[in-house]
């Protein structure tokens, strides 16, 4: 039975077919496994062989008995929540990719792309599309009150749409999703723009705007539009915020730490827990995840153009000084400087779980790094005379990120404050940033309709002469399922998400050290113990927030609590825990 799922382009006929992945066991015994299914086994086997204790999926796969996926958190909490507009808004703040939402500061929304190649710079979303959803406010009033937000993938994907759509069974738009902050403190999507670039003299591109449905047909059109927007989000999450920003770019930090710093150097001792297993897992990813015809090319709409998207994002978007949480929040307009304390931030949205919990973690990291660094760099000369440290930073900047080495935004290693900033940023990315975008993959992506990796059809125009539109009217559920991942793609993707969301039995979490005798300096040990206690305090605060009924983005009937930045976890797929390093 499962062999048919994995080797044929069979479709889910109804949503119950998807539910059966979590309710029924599939037997692989006495069946030859397909080549791609072997890739999953190989990937997980390699992880298990290289990193002790990972993942539980291997036992299911290799024993070939009773393969059944555990219900993802979202599905287990409320199997219908993915259909609600408020849940889409909640996930923009507390899901697996809460790093993209931005405050709208001006309207209309604009593109920075060449209009001759990609169509008009101005978004097609007009005030009349959503004005009636603003609770009596005008668009300008909503902007002035910080109540309009956007998740904008127009410029990220538009240059690749024609190449992607030329593939068989791949169809994609570049999306923009506009959100409004309601009086309840939650945000809801009020308009989605799906755009195609010009592709021929006979097609000069299109910009279609969808709004919440008012009848059965427009409701389904809105649901299809949300799926395309969610698929854009799934692709950007995996290719940029996950692979690029927390796996690929940290390799120079790790290599330079091993090459340029003695194991006795205090900064080496500080950073080594944040280097654990990363090069190994990245090597495996290049073999089986991001390789040609690997998991990403098979299971994501971007297909063979996936690494082009990552490369473009690195060139156009990545900069070291923006990879820490405060700078990222300020850049996106999601926080402002606190007028009463310039060293602190004030969140634009109080109930923004990723940002609220993240700032607790960032502050704890920064405090720990400050105290530790201050033990060894007591005056300007102690820093300026540290040749090892300067060689380390020089290698990161000029060899590890050579193509960006001349950018003016690199912090100069000329003060203790800059060193603290550099180290805190590295530790944040390798620990909390990665945890936030990795360990919720199965919770939110494990149920394909919620965060589909693949879209295979465009949305038909409302034209009765269109066979596709008539197909939609006749059976909208079937059309929806034919638009997202088929059985093979869904099973393949969620198998890997399950593995990648798994904590090892020997995981080392933020504030912990596996190597007890990592230093002989009692002052450093005291600082580390203080950091461990601070992390435990943060964990208690997060638990209290998740129990607060006023915080609707993390509490309520069927709502998944936000625990991705809760520092500790047990082994397995838990949806919580911050490992010290990018270890999976």
Phi (first) and psi of residue 336, to 5 degrees: -130, 160
Note if 525 is an active site residue.
no
The DSSP string of 258-302 is: HHHS-TTSHHHHHHGGGSTTHHHHHHHHHHHTSSTTSHHHHHSTT
Q: Quote the CA–CA distance of 286 and 267 in Å, as a whole number.
A: 29
Q: Quote the CA–CA distance of 61 and 29 in Å, as a whole number.
A: 10
Note if 584 is an active site residue.
yes
Q: Quote the CA–CA distance of 264 and 282 in Å, as a whole number.
A: 26
Q: Quote the CA–CA distance of 290 and 322 in Å, as a whole number.
A: 25
228, 237, 247, 274: the active-site residue:
247
CB 338 within 8 A of CB 346: yes
Q: What is the pLDDT along the chain (584 residues), one digit of tens a residue?
A: 344 444 446 899 999 999 999 988 654 443 344 555 555 555 555 554 544 433 443 443 444 334 679 999 999 999 999 999 999 999 999 999 999 999 999 999 999 999 999 999 999 999 999 999 999 999 999 999 999 999 999 999 999 999 999 999 999 999 999 999 999 999 999 999 999 999 988 898 999 999 999 999 999 999 999 999 999 999 999 999 999 999 999 999 999 999 999 999 999 999 999 999 999 999 999 999 999 999 999 999 999 999 999 999 999 999 999 999 999 999 999 999 988 887 789 999 999 999 999 999 999 999 999 999 999 999 999 999 999 999 999 999 999 999 999 999 999 999 999 999 999 999 999 999 999 999 999 999 999 999 999 999 999 999 999 999 999 999 999 999 999 999 999 999 999 999 999 999 999 999 999 888 999 999 999 999 999 999 999 999 999 999 999 999 999 999 999 999 999 999 999 999 999 999 99
Q: Quote the CA–CA distance of 9 and 491 in Å, as a whole number.
A: 12
Note if 247 is an active site residue.
yes
232, 282, 438, 486: the active-site residue:
438
2, 154, 241, 242: the active-site residue:
242
Contacting residues for 475 by C-beta, under 8 A, at least 6 apart: none
228, 274, 305, 434: the active-site residue:
434
Q: For the chain, list the domains and their CATH numbers.
A: 2-63 (no CATH), 251-442+498-573 (1.20.245.10)
Closest CA to 349 of 552, 67, 169: 552
Q: Quote the CA–CA distance of 323 and 253 in Å, as a whole number.
A: 13
């Amino acid at each position: 039975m499962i062999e048919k799922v994995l080797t044929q382009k069979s479709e889910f006929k109804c949503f119950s077919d998807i539910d059966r992945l979590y309710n029924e066991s599939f037997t692989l015994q006495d069946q030859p496994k397909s080549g791609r299914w072997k890739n999953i086994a190989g990937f997980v086997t390699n992880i298990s062989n290289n990193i002790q204790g990972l993942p539980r999926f291997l036992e299911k796969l290799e024993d070939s008995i009773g393969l059944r996926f555990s219900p993802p958190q979202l599905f287990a909490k409320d199997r219908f929540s993915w259909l609600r507009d408020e849940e889409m808004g909640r996930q923009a703040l507390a899901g697996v990719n809460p790093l993209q939402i931005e405050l709208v500061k001006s309207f209309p929304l604009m593109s920075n792309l060449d209009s001759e190649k990609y169509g008009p710079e101005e978004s097609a979303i007009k005030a009349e599309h959503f004005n009636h959803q603003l609770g009596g406010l005008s668009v300008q009033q909503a902007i002035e009150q910080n109540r309009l937000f956007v998740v904008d993938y127009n410029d990220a994907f538009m240059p690749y749409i024609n190449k992607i759509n030329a593939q068989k069974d791949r169809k994609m738009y570049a999306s923009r999703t506009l959100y409004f902050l309601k009086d309840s403190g939650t945000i809801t999507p009020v308009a989605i723009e799906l755009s195609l670039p010009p592709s021929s003299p006979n097609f000069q591109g299109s910009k279609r705007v969808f709004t919440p449905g008012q009848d059965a047909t427009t409701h389904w059109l809105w649901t299809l539009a949300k799926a395309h927007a969610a698929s854009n989000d799934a692709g950007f999450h995996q290719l940029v915020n996950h692979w690029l920003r927390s796996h690929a770019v940290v390799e120079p930090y790790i290599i330079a730490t091993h090459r340029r710093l003695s194991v006795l150097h205090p900064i080496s001792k500080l950073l080594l827990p944040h280097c654990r297993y990363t090069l190994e897992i990245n090597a495996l990813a290049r073999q089986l995840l991001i390789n040609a015809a690997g998991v990403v090319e098979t299971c994501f709409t971007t297909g063979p153009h996936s690494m082009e998207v990552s490369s473009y994002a690195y060139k156009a978007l990545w900069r070291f000084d923006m990879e820490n949480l405060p700078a990222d929040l300020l850049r996106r307009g999601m926080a402002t400087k606190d007028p009463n304390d310039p060293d602190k931030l004030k969140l634009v949205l109080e109930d923004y779980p990723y940002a609220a919990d993240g700032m607790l973690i960032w502050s704890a990291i920064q405090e720990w790094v400050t105290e530790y660094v201050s033990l060894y760099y007591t005056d300007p000369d102690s820093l300026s005379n540290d040749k090892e440290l300067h060689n380390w930073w020089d290698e990161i900047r000029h060899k590890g990120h050579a193509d960006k080495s001349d950018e003016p935004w690199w912090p100069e290693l000329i003060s203790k404050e800059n060193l603290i900033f550099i180290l805190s940023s590295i530790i944040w990315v390798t620990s909390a940033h990665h945890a936030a975008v990795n360990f919720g993959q199965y919770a939110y992506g494990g149920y394909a309709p919620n965060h589909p990796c693949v879209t295979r059809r465009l949305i038909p125009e409302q034209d009765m002469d269109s066979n596709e539109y008539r197909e939609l009217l006749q059976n909208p559920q079937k059309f929806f399922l034919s638009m997202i991942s088929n059985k093979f793609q869904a099973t393949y993707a969620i198998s890997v998400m399950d593995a990648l969301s798994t904590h090892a039995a020997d995981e080392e979490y933020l504030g912990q050290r596996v190597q007890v005798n990592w230093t002989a300096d009692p002052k450093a040990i005291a600082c580390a113990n203080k950091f461990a206690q601070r992390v435990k305090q943060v964990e208690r605060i997060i638990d209290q927030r998740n129990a607060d009924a006023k915080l609707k983005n993390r509490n309520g009937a069927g709502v998944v609590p936000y625990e991705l930045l809760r520092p500790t976890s047990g082994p397995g797929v838990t949806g919580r825990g911050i490992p010290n390093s990018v270890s999976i």
